[in-house]
Amino acid sequence: MEERPEGVGKRGVGRKILRILMYVFLGIAVAVLFALVFGFILKWLWNWLMPDIFGLRQISYWQAFGLLVLAKLLFGRFSHHDHDRHDHGFKKGLFHGHADRFGRRKWGACGRGTEEERLDEAGQGAPGTA
């Protein structure tokens, strides 16, 4: 059995930690870059369109950045791990829970009979009849 020289395993762990720290730093740098770019794009669009269209005054970069944060808080989500959105192309709100993604009815009572039969069962009679 061959023995490793002292410290060989520790260097591998150190390199792994260094690589993880590098990825974290790179991720933060990319996020800051996107925030800067989107802030400047919003500022440019606002200052180009809003004063002429709605008579609003121009805004600074930090006001545009604040609008981005506000819009994200009000309308967006901060997490990409939203399990309700992993629906493989099927919009859950499309059928409002009455049918599966292929359009089949989940509950038999929902699609039972014609409209006239359902109204007769409810004691209302068919539409257009006296």
% pLDDT > 90, the chain: 41
Residue-wise pLDDT for 68-122, tens only, equals 889 989 998 755 555 555 555 544 444 445 555 555 555 555 555 666 776 677 6
Confidence of residue 52 (pLDDT cuts 50, 70, 90): very high
Q: Which of 7-11, 70-74, 103-107, 124-128 has the highest mean pLDDT?
A: 70-74
| For residue 14, pLDDT beyond 50 | yes
Quick check: 18 pLDDT over 70?
A: yes
What is the maximum alpha-carbon separation in the chain? 99
CB 39 within 8 A of CB 65: yes
> In 3-state terms, what secondary structure has residue 12?
helix
The DSSP result for 47-115, as a single string, is HHHHHHHH-PPP--HHHHHHHHHHHHHHH--S-S--GGG-STT--GGGTTTSB-TTS-BSSTTTT-S-H
Res. 13 pLDDT band, cuts 50 70 90:
confident
Q: How far apart are CA 83 and CA 78, in angstroms?
A: 13
